[in-house]
Amino acid sequence: MPEGDTLARTAAGLRPWLLGQRILAARTNGPGAQPRIERVVGTRVTAVEAIGKNLLIRLDNGLELRTHLRMHGSWHRYAPGERWRRPAARARLVLEVEGSVAVCFDAPVVELFEQRAEAVHRSLSRLGPDLLAAEVDVDEAVRRLRNPLRASATIAEALLDQRALAGIGNEVKNEVLWQASSSPWTLAAALDDNALRELVHLAVSVLREGAATGRRPRHVYRRAGLPCPRCHTLIRVEHQGRDLPRLTFWCPGCQPG
């Protein structure tokens, strides 16, 4: 699943081609396709932003497009007439501007709504602090991690909860817990504020590195059966989580518990 740093790079890649441009044509396809997408035609793009794992395209008529890529979605940019790298049937949203065609493939979420509704949007309004914001409210992230809703959650599950802090996906979760020598099986409620604050700062650092370079450090993720680069214990992997189990990679030697 694309994480916050991937979305930040996607927004940065689309911005030079879309920002300030007038949308000449637009169409949607697939489940939940917006029947009134024609409302964006003729408008100018005023912002292309990533918030957590959401990509937002704001328009000068007060409308806003939101995509969430989940596991398999991606944005591409093509020159007019250029052959697409994926079948057109997989294009969920197509925006044409002068000199460019922006295509969002395979995204399960494509929404069009009024910008003024963002504050009460069922997903956006519930997001925790964006870890790639210019100023991250670390104290608020810690407060949300301590919310009673997450009292029985392991720290690995809590870090993936976008209502606590926005932008962390499974790969960053694994890396951050390893860097902090923190067991993924420890309850979030059992960690003190300093430990939670360290995890937030580490997540910010990993995501910012990914946003800047397109690369993340990978010490345990997808390295099951290989020696830990810190203590040489063999890395393990297990499914973890109740609602949507995810693969957790960890070192039982230096992440005990």
**Which is catalytic among the residues 2, 64, 129, 173?**
2
Q: Region 65-93: what's the mean pLDDT? A: 95
Sign of CA dihedral 192, 194, 199, 200: positive
Confidence tier at 205 by pLDDT (50, 70, 90)? very high
Verify that 9 and 97 share a domain, yes or no: yes
Angle at 164 between CA 160 and CA 168, to 5 degrees: 35
Verify that 96 and 155 share a domain, yes or no: no
Q: Is 255 part of a structural domain of the chain?
A: no
pTM recorded for the entire structure: 0.92
- What is the span of the domain harbouring residue 96? 4-126
Q: Is 133 part of a structural domain of the chain?
A: no
111 flagged as catalytic: no
Spatial separation of the C-alpha atoms in residues 253 and 230, rounded to whole Å: 9
53 flagged as catalytic: yes
Q: Region 71-86: what's the mean pLDDT? A: 96
User: pLDDT averaged over the chain?
Assistant: 95
2 flagged as catalytic: yes
Residues in the chain: 257
**Which is catalytic among the residues 49, 53, 217, 242?**
53
Verify that 57 and 151 share a domain, yes or no: no
38 flagged as catalytic: no
Verify that 39 and 78 share a domain, yes or no: yes
**Which is catalytic among the residues 208, 229, 246, 252?**
246
User: What is the CATH number for 149?
Assistant: 1.10.8.50
- Looking at residue 50, its pLDDT comes to 97
Judged against a pLDDT cut of 70, whether residue 35 lies above it is answered with no
Helical segments of 19-169, H only: 138-145, 155-160
Verify that 27 and 91 share a domain, yes or no: yes
Q: First-to-last CA distance in the chain?
A: 27
Verify that 31 and 57 share a domain, yes or no: yes
Domain-terminating residue out of 126, 151, 175: 126
Q: What letter does residue 118 receive in the DSSP assignment?
A: G
Verify that 104 and 212 share a domain, yes or no: no
- Looking at residue 243, its pLDDT comes to 76
